Amino acid sequence: MNYWPLLGVALIALGFVLRFNPVLVVVTAALASGLLSGMAVPDLLALLGTSFASSRILLIIILTLPAIGLLERAGLREHAQRWMARMRGMTLARLLIGYLLGRQLLSMIGLQSVAGPAQTVRPLLAPMAEAAAERIDPALPDDERDRLRALAAATDNVGLFFGEDVFIALGAVLLIQGFYDQHGIALTPLSIALWALPTAFAAFAIHSTRIVLYQRYLRRRQAGRQGG
């Protein structure tokens, strides 16, 4: 047994502890493990290229993040806040609950990648939520801004997680079907998806309540400050 390729794991741990560039650390560890396992350099590079090209999710992330960064540099977050300022009837609760509903419905039909933390939450949803919260409290402190951003990210996660299980072609649904099939229980993907509907409705109701309660908390906090 050749244990030298496991040195790559140690390199990853050491690189993260020393806070080196994560991409550089991972690539260096992969090259070290490949070379220590006896792979030729051309074969190792071909394997890395094939793995990279086959990872579609990684390609989406790599292409999305620079595009979002350029848009933010051009003032996307500021534009989002100005859009929110013009929508007088749009409250914080209406904004986040509407996004939650849209995220769940799109996930239910298999459109999981049309939104997400990088694509919509950071550049659009979070700034608009902050603008809506500033109508309640113009001097919104930094700790509440952090809580609000976390709430916006949670809204996206809840909508995606509890909506995608209703989509019958999702890998998780097929995994559930295979697990039950191994134990002699015959289930169709459609029946699994239908049983996921009550959970999706409950998640929507619970998280919507959390959003409404947070908006009321902001209003009580501001009213108490003005009364004091």
Q: How is 60-99 classified by DSSP, letter by letter? A: HHHHHHHHHHHHHHTTHHHHHHHHHHH-TT--HHHHHHHH
* Whether residue 70 has pLDDT greater than 90: no
* Whether residue 50 has pLDDT greater than 80: no
Read off the pLDDT band of 205 (50, 70, 90).
Answer: very high
* Whether residue 40 has pLDDT greater than 90: no
At residue 167, the 3 state secondary structure works out as coil
The model's pTM: 0.68
* Whether residue 56 has pLDDT greater than 60: no
Span 139-147, average pLDDT = 88
Span 152-181, average pLDDT = 84
Listed ranges 176-180, 190-194, 207-211; the one with the highest mean pLDDT: 207-211
29-68 in b/e form (b: 16+ CB < 10 A) is bbbbbbbeeebeeeebeeeeeeeeeeeeeeeeeeeeeeeb
